[in-house]
Each structure stands twice: as structure tokens, then as C-alpha cells.
Amino acid sequence: MLDAMNLHVSTRKGYTACPHDCPSTCALEVDILDDRTIGRVRGAEANTYTAGVICAKVARYAERVHHPDRLLKPLQRVGAKGGGDWREIGWDDALDLVAERFVQAETRHGSEAVWPYYYAGTMGLVQRDGIHRLRHAKRYSGQFDSICTNLAWTGFVAGAGRLAGVDPREMAQSDCVVIWGTNAVATQVNVMTHAIRARKERGARIVVIDIYDNATMKQADTALKLRPGTDGALACALMHIAFRDGTADRAYLDRYTDDPAGLEAHLRTRTPEWAAAITGLAVADIESFAELLGRTPRSFFRLGYGFSRQRNGAVAMHAASCVPTVFGHWQHEGGGAFHSNSGIWNFDKRAIEGRAYQDETIRHLDQSRIGAMLTGEAEALQGGPPVTAMLVQNTNPANVAPEQRLVKRGLLREDLFVAVHEQFMTDTAKLADLVLPAAMSVEYDDIYRGGGQSHILFGPKLIEHPETVRSNHFVIEELAKRLGVDHMPGFGLTERDLIDDLLHASGYEGLASLEAERWLDVQPAFARAHYLDGFGQPDGRFRFRPDWLGMAAPNRPPTAMGLFGPHAKLPEFPDHAEIIEDTDDDHPFRLATPPARQFLNSTFSETEGSRKREGSPVLKVHPADAEGLALETGTRVIIGNRRGEVVLPVEIDGGVSPGVLIHEGLWPNDAFENGEGINVLTGADPAAPFGGAAFHDNRVWMRPA
């Protein structure tokens, strides 16, 4: 009792942001128990987007920060790669070794033989993007970030012209909230906060469009469960009905869009019957959804990433964004669409990223195709040198990247040196030559910004890190010293200096003001957010006919990389693009691999609380498909395609459609038989037009193991 009281008295509160790769970017309040220990984590009530709500896995953050398996010492491999034998080495020796191997690689094959490989373990702009400063200073190979947002962003910008949209808090003013291709309950819980507020306060209808009864579908008033990769067809039928029934807003279309007459003509054959045959939805369900949209000006479309992880995902995203445009929903409070706010920040990251000395002729290697890169595919390497040295920071490609067999084979190459800077012994760290222990977000300073909302947040160091771990910033700075580039602009600054510079360079007040305020809300004004002053296209008009090949997309790869996938097959208008990995006689099932609620990509799969709640990896199978193969819940099956095979126990689930298989992850590879994770089955072939990984678009066969 006395202890509890003391604890209570000495507990301080710290304010920070969730560092994880989640559109919500919650404002957090952390109990600080002592200099080295955090307690409970809560969502900030005062932040109008977070509104006091965070996901369970981050509420249990102490479990991750103070986990007994956390990496604490630099480890050098002893014996064979992946063999699991390590010896401890000091930080100075470890950093010397990285520098030495980088210099060796460069001497032998040129600077492009070194590939700093990163992603979104932390979304902090200093700790995440500082790796580019070293990359550019040393002219190491660039990275083309294709794994997550490419298809979605391209599709959205194709129409609206800007990565921005209606304030997601406006959902609370909507009469219909369409949650399209995002499992928000699991992947960004705050969407539900605002959607459910609208239902409670205004009787709004929540429509969910997905391919199975996920946690979000279970909350829906209207559940539209379609075949994977067919959202374009649904969107077309909705717009067909709008023109047919006179619910299309013709005055709005004339004023704000490029070619409504062309669109109307194109849609004439895109009838509800046509769409029903493609999507598997009932004609009546398509009709009544269109009728609802036609009589509900305040219809809000929250467009997620999930439905864009199909090879036709860019077309599907564009098509979905056309729907509120045809109905004119954008004009109304609580109406319109939102996908991402990545276009509103106007951050000038030149100092953090060392852009001043970026050499545009250096190649960019496609992040998703790391398997092809490391196994020496000449086309993937753009005819350049092999990759022979890597620093991997903030990412776990041996688990999360597609074509896992190739990725692992590549990482195990004897002539490749890999240093992995990590918090845990991940699947990737296990295959490294050198493992460097990383600090956690509550142990370093950084700045964060929402992707699914409009706040810039400061995340200060709240506790001391364990003595033997180091931040990403430290590692980059120390390598710069050893590689002789630490005199270049952007180096030699503290995190706080870099944040302050970034804010000033971007036209904001400096760090002192942000720290005092905790966050800054940069939501654009109503007229701009609703595109009432014109869309983000050169002529201000929403494009029903995207310039797929010529458009400026925020994530378009350097022109030297050209276009990708079957881009010649991209339709002129919104449509069902038949460029998905559809079933065939040998592969009668479609497999999707969406995120599990208690994990965040491969993160949190180590924490007890998350593991306990998720149980173990399973494959969800429709009862009829199970019956056809005489499978019961628990039966082990092998699913496979030309990329490989994976063994999983079946869970019979009536919420999955016949012919569709669902595996929620990402589980560590060793949670599977043979240590082969789900990404053995996913493809890295770049999707049209600018690349991207189609994680939910896989044809497979299935048989009992």
C-alpha cells in the first residue's frame, strides 16, 4: 500500500507522440515512474483527433520498452550467417567495422555498392530520415520507397491532384461515413472514434467496403463485401446510377471536373448488373448504396490503403475518389473524401536529409525488390554494381518484404555485409553480420506528423535509454565521422537543433513554441480542404481521365526508373482494370494478408500482451472451401504459388468469401513451420504505373499438409 502511494506521488506525466507507422499518430500521455521507467500510456484528451483514444498495443507500451528480450549490446556474428552465434563487441569497434566494410565495398565496386536501407520503424523525421544525410554525403545507392503508399497515393493524386482532403474530424458532421478498404478498428482506431460519434449524435450510417468480415465490417450498418481487386467496378456502378437517376451533381461537375460528359458516356455500360458479376455483390445492394449516396450530401469517404494493395490498386483508389466527386459531396460540411494528409505539411527536410549534396545520377533501388537486388538481378540493379554492404535501420525486410525466399537468400550471401540497427532480434537481425541495439522513441527527441490527421507533434526524450543502446541519429553521426563527411551541412547537430531548423525552414515557429504547445494543428481551411478553390491539378479540375503516365505523383520514382507494370493497360476512365493476379485452374484461391490488430507490421509480435491476444497464425477459409477439401479448423494446409509454399492451420470462418483466403499478420517467420513467413507468397513485381507491392493480391493453391 505504501509503495503504491509513493509510486503515485512520484509519477510524472510526459507528453509525446506515437512513433509508429499508423495514420493516427496519436498524441500520448506517458506516466514516467522514474528516470528509466515508463508506466501507463494514454491518449491525450485535449488533442481533437486523438480524443483520448489509443490502441491497446500502445497503451501497453511499457511492455515493449522494458521487454526482457530487448537488444542491449552490439553483437557480431560468429560462425555461419543466420547460425545464431554471436559475440558481444563494443560500440566503437562495431562502428569502426561498419565504416571499414563500407569503404571496402566502395573501393571495390563504387559507392553505389553500399545501400542504406530504411523504413518506418519510427516515423520521427530526424531518426527516420537522417540515414539519407549519410547516403547523399557518400553517394550511396538511393532507395525508392515503394512498399506501402505508392499505389494508394498515385491513385488519389491522379484525380484530386493533392494528397489532402476533408478534415477527418468532420466525419462527426457526416450523415454517411464510407470506410473503404481500411480495417480502421485494427489499423487506425481513431477513425472509428469520429465515425461512431456521427452515428451517435446524428444517426449517421457507417458503410464498410472490404473483402471479409474484419473487425470494422462487424461495426458496419451497411456491409459491402466484394471480391478482392474489384472496387473499381463498384465505383463505376455507383456513378452509373448517379447519372442514370439524376443524383449526379451536374452543376458541380461542370464547374469542377475535367470531362463529365466523357465519364457519363463511358459509364453507360457499367451497370449495376455488370458490377455485380465482377464484384460478387447483389444488384440490390449496389442500388441501395447508390440511393443512399444520392440523398446524403454529407457523405464522407475514408479511403484506406488496403484496397490499393492489389495490382490495379491505383485505378481502384482513383475510381473510389471519383464517387464523391460525381455526387458533389465535396461541397458539404462532413462530405467529400480523405485518404492522406501527406501533402499538407510543406516540410523542408533539406538539412536532415542532406539534399544539398544529393547527386541525382545515383541510382534508386526499389525497396520492395530487395530480394531481386540482393540476388543480383541485373535489371533490378539497373545495370549497376551489386549491393555488397548495407545498414538496415527501422525495418525488418526478412519478414515484411515480398518474395521472402529471395530476400533471405540475398541476405545470406557470403560477400554481403549487413549491419542491422534494431530494438529486437528480428528476422532480419538474425541474418546480419552485425547487430546494433537501438533506442526507443521515449528515449530520444523527435518530431512527428500525422498521415491520417493534421497535427505536428513533438516527442521529447522522456527517459534515459539503457546505457548500451544508441539512437539512429547517433549511429548516423558516428558513421559520418568515420567516413569523413561529418563536416558537411546538416551533420554535427543535435536532434533538437535539427527539429528547430526544420520548423523554421518550413515556415513554422521553432521548437520552443511547439514544445510548449505540445502539437500544432495545420489543418487547411474548409474551402481548400474541400477543394472549393479548385482541385490540385494545373487547371483546378478533378481528373476523371488521369494522366497516368505523365502525372506528377509525390511518390513517383526518379525518371531514370521509368514506368512499371502493365501501365499501358491502365484505363482512360475509372474502371475495373483486369491486371490483378486472378485465379486460374492451378491457383483457385485469392489470398490477402492484412494486418493483425495487436501487431504493427512486424512490430509488437514480441510483446506478451499482443501475442496472447492474437493467439497463433491461422488461415481463414470459407466453410464451403473447407468442406471441398475436407478441412476442419486446425487442419494444416499448404498454400502455394510459383514464389513458394507456406504451411498454416485452418480456421473455418463464415465471414470470408468462398475462394478467398485471409491471413492476418505479420507474424515472425519462426511462428510458421519451416520458418517461412507469409511473404514467401507475395510478389515484388512492381504494380502500374509507378511501382508498389500488392500484398493482398495473390493467387494460390491449397491442399492438406
Binding region for ligand MGD (CB under 6 A): 21-22, 119-122, 127, 147-148, 181-183, 186-188, 209-212, 214, 228-229, 231, 304-307, 309-310, 393-396, 400, 421-424, 426, 438, 472, 592-595, 597, 599-603, 665-666, 678-679, 682, 695-696
- Which residues within the stretch 38-67 sit at the binding site for ligand SF4 (CB under 6 A)? 54-55, 58
Q: Which of these, 617, 665, 136, 134, lies nearest to 421 by C-alpha position?
A: 134
Q: Which does 54 bind (CB under 5 to 8 A by kind): Mo ion, ligand MGD, ligand SF4, none?
A: ligand SF4
CB 576, min distance to ligand MGD, A: 11
DSSP 636: E
Q: Which of these, 705, 700, 704, 617, lies nearest to 659 by C-alpha position?
A: 700
463 binds ligand SF4 (CB under 6 A): no
Which uninterrupted H or E stretch holds 459? strand 455-459
Q: Which does 168 bind (CB under 5 to 8 A by kind): Mo ion, ligand MGD, ligand SF4, none?
A: none
314 binds ligand SF4 (CB under 6 A): no
CB 582, min distance to Mo ion, A: 24
Q: Distance between CA atoms of 297 and 584, rounded to whole angstroms?
A: 42
Q: Which does 134 bind (CB under 5 to 8 A by kind): Mo ion, ligand MGD, ligand SF4, none?
A: none
What Cα–Cα distance (Å) separates residue 568 from each residue in 20, 159, 313, 314, 555? Answer: 36, 18, 15, 14, 19
20 binds ligand SF4 (CB under 6 A): yes
CB 334, min distance to ligand MGD, A: 21
25 binds ligand SF4 (CB under 6 A): yes
Site size with Mo ion, rule: CB under 5 A: 1
Among 126, 189, 440, 447, binds ligand SF4 (CB under 6 A): 189
- Candidates 142-150, 188-196, 374-382, 456-464: pick the segment binding Mo ion (CB under 5 A): 142-150
Q: Within a 10 A sphere around the Cβ of 492, how many other Cβ atoms?
A: 12
151 binds Mo ion (CB under 5 A): no
Q: Which does 143 bind (CB under 5 to 8 A by kind): ligand MGD, ligand SF4, Mo ion, none?
A: none
* DSSP 3-state of 519: strand
Q: Within a 10 A sphere around the Cβ of 306, how many other Cβ atoms?
A: 27
Q: Within a 10 A sphere around the Cβ of 202, how many other Cβ atoms?
A: 14
Give the nearer residue to ligand SF4 in terms of CB position, either 54 or 171.
Answer: 54
β-pairing, 176-180 vs 205-210, is parallel
CB 44, min distance to ligand SF4, A: 11
Q: Distance between CA atoms of 309 and 34, rounded to whole angstroms?
A: 43
148 binds Mo ion (CB under 5 A): yes
CB 471, min distance to ligand MGD, A: 7
Give the nearer residue to ligand SF4 in terms of CB position, either 20 or 696.
Answer: 20
- Which residues within the stretch 564-603 sit at the binding site for ligand SF4 (CB under 6 A)? 600
Give the nearer residue to ligand MGD in terms of CB position, either 181 or 490.
Answer: 181
Cis preceding-peptide flag for 689 (omega within 30 of 0)? yes
Give the nearer residue to ligand SF4 in terms of CB position, either 54 or 648.
Answer: 54
Give the nearer residue to ligand MGD in terms of CB position, either 19 or 328.
Answer: 19
Q: Which does 331 bind (CB under 5 to 8 A by kind): Mo ion, ligand MGD, ligand SF4, none?
A: none
Q: Distance between CA atoms of 533 and 530, rounded to whole angstroms?
A: 8
DSSP 45: S
- Candidates 74-82, 144-152, 169-177, 222-230: pick the segment binding Mo ion (CB under 5 A): 144-152
* DSSP 3-state of 420: strand
Give the nearer residue to Mo ion in terms of CB position, either 43 or 452.
Answer: 452
Query: Cα-flanking dihedrals φ and ψ of residue 61, to 5°?
Result: -60, -30
Give the nearer residue to ligand SF4 in terms of CB position, either 252 or 448.
Answer: 448
Q: Which does 229 bind (CB under 5 to 8 A by kind): ligand MGD, ligand SF4, Mo ion, none?
A: ligand MGD
CB 479, min distance to ligand MGD, A: 13
156's CB contacts (< 8 A; 6+ apart) are 163, 303, 317, 318, 321, 339, 340
Q: Which does 25 bind (CB under 5 to 8 A by kind): ligand MGD, Mo ion, ligand SF4, none?
A: ligand SF4
Q: Distance between CA atoms of 132 and 112, rounded to whole angstroms?
A: 14
Site size with ligand SF4, rule: CB under 6 A: 12
26 binds ligand SF4 (CB under 6 A): yes
β-pairing, 114-118 vs 205-210, is unpaired
184 binds ligand SF4 (CB under 6 A): no
Give the nearer residue to ligand MGD in terms of CB position, either 435 or 650.
Answer: 435
Q: Distance between CA atoms of 513 and 495, rounded to whole angstroms?
A: 16
CB 186, min distance to ligand SF4, A: 9
- Which residues within the stretch 196-225 sit at the binding site for ligand SF4 (CB under 6 A)? none
Which uninterrupted H or E stretch holds 644? strand 644-652
- Mapping DSSP onto H, E and C, the string for 571-591 reads CCCCCCCCCCCCCECCECEEE
Per the CB < 8 A criterion, the answer to whether 329 and 298 are in contact is: yes
Q: Which amino acid is at 306?
A: G
Sign of the Cα torsion 163, 167, 172, 173 reads negative
**Burial environment of residue 160 by CB neighbours within 10 A (0 to 12, 13 to 18, 19 or more):** buried
**Burial environment of residue 681 by CB neighbours within 10 A (0 to 12, 13 to 18, 19 or more):** buried
Q: Distance between CA atoms of 596 and 615, rounded to whole angstroms?
A: 11
Q: Which does 594 bind (CB under 5 to 8 A by kind): ligand SF4, Mo ion, ligand MGD, none?
A: ligand MGD
Q: Which does 367 bind (CB under 5 to 8 A by kind): Mo ion, ligand MGD, ligand SF4, none?
A: none
Give the nearer residue to ligand MGD in terms of CB position, either 297 or 665.
Answer: 665
Question: How far does CA 222 lie from the centroid of its chain?
Answer: 26
Q: Which amino acid is at 44?
A: A
Query: Cα-flanking dihedrals φ and ψ of residue 411, to 5°?
Result: -65, -25
- Which residues within the stretch 637-676 sit at the binding site for ligand SF4 (CB under 6 A)? none
List 445's β-bridge partners, or say none.
none
CB 51, min distance to ligand MGD, A: 18
β-pairing, 417-422 vs 389-393, is parallel
Q: Which does 317 bind (CB under 5 to 8 A by kind): ligand SF4, Mo ion, ligand MGD, none?
A: none
Give the nearer residue to ligand MGD in terms of CB position, either 267 or 419.
Answer: 419
CB 21, min distance to Mo ion, A: 5
- Candidates 145-153, 435-443, 498-506, 619-627: pick the segment binding Mo ion (CB under 5 A): 145-153
Residues forming the site for Mo ion (CB under 5 A): 148
Q: Which stretches of the chain bind ligand SF4, using CB under 6 A?
A: 18, 20, 22, 24-26, 54-55, 58, 188-189, 600
